Structure 1
Amino acid sequence: MPRFAANLSMLFNEVPFLDRFERASQAGFEAVEFLFPYGLEASEIQERLETHGLKLVLHNLPAGDWDAGERGIACLPGRVDEFRAGVAKGVAYAKALGVGQLNCLAGKAPPDMDEALLRRTFVANLRYAAAELRKAGLKLLIEPINTFDIPGFYLNRTAQAVAILDEVGAGNAYVQYDIYHAQRMEGELAATLQKYLPRIAHVQLADNPGRNEPGTGEINYSFLFAHLDRLGYEGWVGCEYKPATTTDAGLGWCCQHLVTEATAV
């Protein structure tokens, strides 16, 4: 059975962010992830991780002005200096918090901008980021995101991500495979996971439609969890979904799968 990490940017959001660590621990999670740590001192987050016995498995590099609708700047010409400063900041937080991998959001492609220029910018930025993260012993991840939820998002398919990583040529750069985004853009979840598993370092989940917890939509998560086991996936699965009601009320899916696994053993 995969190991599940609570995404604190979306789960337990009925309480303030720093209180979500305790709630995640009480719910049985051993690990957490979230979008960004940068609005807090690393020491504040580390104290919560230590107090509640949690491991931080992922956060993102800085991604521009999030509140203004930006969703990454890595593909944007003219923002390279800002991107590089964000890499340094992300690495500093990662080292302080003991996280081993950082996700880089590509960003939204500006209308009418040359695709070749966007790709060259993205590849060059990824090469820089991968080299800086490698010095710190970190993995760099890139995440395809569906263009229904984020119109214009530059990186939106698994094969595209792998091709870009081939061009980057960094041994510490991988795909972050979000099952929800992949289902919306391309389907073929089981076959894609099998084909690209060596290139995937982190998996996230949500059901579709609605981006709610597993069991609320069309995705057969019982099959996919068993499939990941058969493939030998050893990473974490981040629970990055919007609870249909409250987080605690929607955690039955997780308990059900853990009970099923324990019974099978």
Structure 2
Amino acid sequence: MNRRNFLSKSVLAAGATTLGTTTAALANPVFEASPNPAPYKYKLLYAPHFGMFENSAGKDLFDQLKFMADNGFMALEDNGMLKRPVETQTKIGETLAKLGMKMGVFVVDGGDNWKVSLATGKKEFLENFLKTCRESVETAKRCNAKYMTVVPGYFERNLPLGIQTANVIDALRRACDIFEPHNLTMVLEPLSDNPDLFLRHSDQSYMICKAVNSPSCKILFDMWHMQRNEGRMTQHMDWAWEEIAYFQIGDEPGRKEPTTGEINYKSLFKHIYDKAKANNQEFIMGMEHGNFAKGKEGEMKLIEAYQWSDNF
């Protein structure tokens, strides 16, 4: 059975609503919205990004935030927050507070983060990274963020791996000196985009976090990247669990919403939920992916997919 077709028939069968609609309405892009919809209650704290629902909510960022909250998404992820005007950062923080939403990650982006590599040990790269970390503290205060994504960059092929690793650890320790006084956490993201990237696996990230030895240096476990790089995700999550502070979502292939690829997100979400509950933890689950289908209908199908995957 095609899981996408199955979703349209089965999700919300118990009567939960999105925008005041029933399951049948979600299957049909033409419906009337209730004036006072009851948001769907998700078990996990999923965080959409700006643009994900702009066909339904419009292009205004704050209308999009209201739409997210109205549909039960009680967190936001905005990789580009650091580059937004100060006034916009502040208003986003104020709006999130009014809606009872939490802020997820933004990227500590000091330029081309992949090529400006901490593995090199070069002074100019380190100084630029630390300068951007200091700027990120002020941005985090404005938008009520706690987590910021850090990418060490490319391999330095003319240096031994141990020297590169030591350079990265030293840079991250220096960054922790900036973040710790503000109770902020940088989350290291192992990536799958190309084999030239220094940080690619969860066990490597775990080792680096252990060496840095700070509450301000943890792992961002992006399940799309980790499916591509290592698989066996529940096992790798369990091995690295004590250093994981944040998760991101994207199905493979395609990097779209759950149910559109090969990853069993219903199972993964249950694993994360059960383990977090047992350890009295809460994770923001960044929806760092595109929409499988276009327009309002695609946005409704995305909501439908999350409700189905969260129903475990």
Regarding TM over 0.5, the answer is yes
Residue in 1 that maps onto 2:44 = 2
- Which of 65, 69, 79 is matched with 1:21 structurally? 65
Matches within 5 A, 1:158-173: 158-173=202-217
Residue in 2 that maps onto 1:251 = 303
1:23 Cα offset (Å): 4.0
CA distance in 2, matches of 1:202, 1:102: 10
Larger radius of gyration: 2
Residue in 1 that maps onto 2:167 = 121
Distance change >3 Å, CA 234–CA 51, structure 1 → 2: closer
2:187–2:218: 8 Å Cα contact kept in structure 1?
Answer: yes
Q: Which runs of 5+ in 2 are unaligned?
A: 1-42
1:5–1:32: 8 Å Cα contact kept in structure 2?
Answer: yes
- Which of 230, 236, 239 is matched with 2:284 structurally? 236
- Which of 52, 55, 58 is matched with 1:11 structurally? 52
Residue in 2 that maps onto 1:101 = 147
Q: Deviations over 1:35-83 (max 9, x none)?
A: 12132223313313433623212212124236xxx46643343211111
Distance change >3 Å, CA 16–CA 80, structure 1 → 2: farther
- Computed over aligned residues only, the root mean square deviation of the Cα atoms, in angstroms, reads 2.3
Task: State yes or no: 1:41 paired with 2:89.
Answer: no
Normalised by the length of structure 1, the TM-score is 0.86
Which letter maps to 1:248? E
Percent identity between matched residues is: 22
CA distance in 1, matches of 2:174, 2:140: 17
2:89–2:142: 8 Å Cα contact kept in structure 1?
Answer: no
2:82–2:107: 8 Å Cα contact kept in structure 1?
Answer: no
Residue in 1 that maps onto 2:224 = 180
CA distance in 2, matches of 1:112, 1:43: 44
1:16 Cα offset (Å): 4.7
Residue in 1 that maps onto 2:102 = 55
- Which of 135, 139, 159 is matched with 2:181 structurally? 135
Query: Aligned residues, how many?
Result: 254
CA distance in 2, matches of 1:116, 1:13: 46
CA distance in 2, matches of 1:22, 1:75: 41
CA distance in 2, matches of 1:60, 1:72: 14
Which letter maps to 2:74? E
Q: Deviations over 1:72-106 (max 9, x none)?
A: 64334321111111110111111222111222111
Residue in 2 that maps onto 1:227 = 271
CA distance in 1, matches of 2:208, 2:106: 21
SS at match of 2:105: strand
